[in-house]
């Protein structure tokens, strides 16, 4: 899953980020509500972990703003305020779960992963497609005109990300962060190599399916 932590306490943010990454998730961090809203508006996240007391825009206002825009991304609220009224207010603001500080990381992880599973089954399609190319996320299977295409794990993740943003520019930075979990440019041809392998397996020798936008990134189109 891809998770965004919106937390102004650097120690808490680093602790949670480290644990979630060790559990196999891709994790970004924002230090205030304003930055959090910006990131949610520009990237896809499966779950948000939102501190209630944030600078600039508080956590509950962040969630209310997202819900007002129709964004239903799952949100876990973290707060030192643990009274029943506080928890009720958090849930009524649009939060999906509420965890009181201090907390055990094992419980936070279990809650985050439960929210992610619930979100995946209720709001997201389990099948992605472009023309006669189809990806079944549950079966982890890719077919082209009915023929099964054998992809390596990284190739599958790369194609999944491109299909999720079908018809939209996917930048190299987006791919590095979401597929490789790099938050810097390693100055290697890792993306180009994997795109080339993916095109070969998909028979996309003319780059009609996965188009290169020079100097920017890639776009996967509807027709093959």
pLDDT digits (tens, 9 = 90+) for 2-41: 999 999 999 999 999 999 999 999 999 999 999 999 999 8
List every span in the chain annotated with CATH 3.40.50.2300.
Answer: 2-123
Average pLDDT, rounded, for the chain: 89
How is domain 2-123 classified at the architecture level of CATH?
Answer: 3-Layer(aba) Sandwich (3.40)
Cα→Cα distances 214→12, 74, 83, 166, 217, Å: 40, 35, 54, 18, 7
CA gyration radius, the chain: 19
Q: What is the pTM of this model?
A: 0.56
Average of per-residue pLDDT across 135-154: 90
Assess if CATH 1.10.10.10 describes domain 127-220. yes
Distance CA(80)–CA(58), nearest Å, equals 14
Distance CA(27)–CA(21), nearest Å, equals 6
List every span in the chain annotated with CATH 1.10.10.10.
Answer: 127-220
| pLDDT-derived band at 223, boundaries 50, 70, 90 | low
Task: Classify residue 126 as exposed, middle or buried by CB count within 10 Å of its CB (0-12, 13-18, 19+).
Answer: exposed
What's the pLDDT tens digit per position in 45-95?
A: 999 999 999 999 999 999 999 988 878 899 999 999 989 999 999 999 899
Cα→Cα distances 153→78, 138, 156, Å: 33, 14, 5
Nearest to 1 by CA among 47, 33, 34: 47
Distance CA(57)–CA(40), nearest Å, equals 14
- Angle subtended by helix axes 190-201 and 153-164, to nearest 10: 90
**pLDDT at residue 218 tops 50:** yes
**pLDDT at residue 120 tops 70:** no
pLDDT of residue 224: 44
Tokens of 188: 């290697």
């Amino acid at each position: 899953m891809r998770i965004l932590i919106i937390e102004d306490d650097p120690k808490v943010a680093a602790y949670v980020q480290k644990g979630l990454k060790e559990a196999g998730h891709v994790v970004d961090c924002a230090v205030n509500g304003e930055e959090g809203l910006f990131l949610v508006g520009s990237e896809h996240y499966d779950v948000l972990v939102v501190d209630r007391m944030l600078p600039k825009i508080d956590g509950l206002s962040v969630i209310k703003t997202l819900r007002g825009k129709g964004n239903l991304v799952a949100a876990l609220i973290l707060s030192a305020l643990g009274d029943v009224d506080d928890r009720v207010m958090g849930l009524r603001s649009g939060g999906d779960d509420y965890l009181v500080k201090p907390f055990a990381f094992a419980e936070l992880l279990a809650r985050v992963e439960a929210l992610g599973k619930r979100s995946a089954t209720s709001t997201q399609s389990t099948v992605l497609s472009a023309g006669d190319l189809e990806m079944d996320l549950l079966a982890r299977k890719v077919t082209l005109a009915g023929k099964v295409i054998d992809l390596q794990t990284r190739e599958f993740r790369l194609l999944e990300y491109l299909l999720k943003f079908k018809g939209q520019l996917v930048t190299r930075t987006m791919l590095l962060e979401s597929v490789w979990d790099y938050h810097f440019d390693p100055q290697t041809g890792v993306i180009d190599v994997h795109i080339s392998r993916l095109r070969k397996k998909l028979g996309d020798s003319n780059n009609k399916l996965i188009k290169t936008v020079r100097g920017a990134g890639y776009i996967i189109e509807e027709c093959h």
